Amino acid sequence: MSLQGWLVFASFWVFFVTTPGPNAVNCMTTGMQVGFRRGLWAVAGILTQAALFLTLSAAGIAAFVAASPGLYGALRLAGAAVLVGLGLRTLWLAGRPVRVDQVPSRSIYLRALAIATFNAKSLAGYLAAFTQFVQPDVPVMAQMGLIYPTALTITAASYSGYVALGTGLGRAALGAVLNVWFRRLMGVAFVGYGLALALSGWG
């Protein structure tokens, strides 16, 4: 990959991972509830998904999934169900105070991993990025040596920023009422993303 190609890829990836979506909403919510340090477990979950999807794209498996309407549709509906379920749960618990010690790090990690993994649109995005920027006349693994660290570094920086934003909002003396309404807004956002994902396959 040339320097120019790398710069274009890096610019695309910055746009790809900074555009607000379910991962960003989850990172903000997590940061607000458990703080920055423990909120980084959500970033770890997203990075696990990013490495997985990059590997699937390099192996050609992502292209197979995207080209299989039944499999892609099942993944899309599963992702929609996960997002809607998390949104409803967030709405249900919005009025209850969150105790940091009652939120295991493992749960934070697995929740973020599930949100990122069961997002069919994310798979399509990774596949699009891969097919546009990988040169067919150069061995794939040689290019992945540059793509992996670039994509993962930008991804980590972006979602760590969202965790920091959520943490800041949680500490900004928002007050109990505003805190509850913010969490409700995040719950609505999850449900909205889930419904949009489910309906995206219609028509």
List the single range of 79-83, 142-146, 170-174 with lowest mean pLDDT.
170-174
Q: Where are the domains of the chain?
A: 3-11+22-199
Distance CA 81, CA 116 (A): 13
| Greatest extent of the chain over all pairs of C-alpha atoms, in Å | 58
The predicted structure's pLDDT at residue 113: 93
Out of 13-17, 64-68, 114-118, 155-159, which region has the weakest mean confidence (pLDDT)?
Answer: 64-68
Q: What is the pLDDT of residue 190?
A: 65
Q: What is the pLDDT of residues 47-91, one digit of tens each?
A: 999 998 888 777 765 455 555 667 666 766 766 676 677 677 767
pLDDT at 140: 67
Q: Is the pLDDT of residue 130 over 70?
A: no
Q: Does residue 99 register a pLDDT over 60?
A: no
Please, which pLDDT band fits residue 21 given cuts at 50, 70 and 90? confident
pLDDT digits (tens, 9 = 90+) for 154-167: 999 999 999 998 88
- Report yes or no: 79 and 197 within 8 Å, Cβ to Cβ: yes
State both tokens at 126: 């990774």
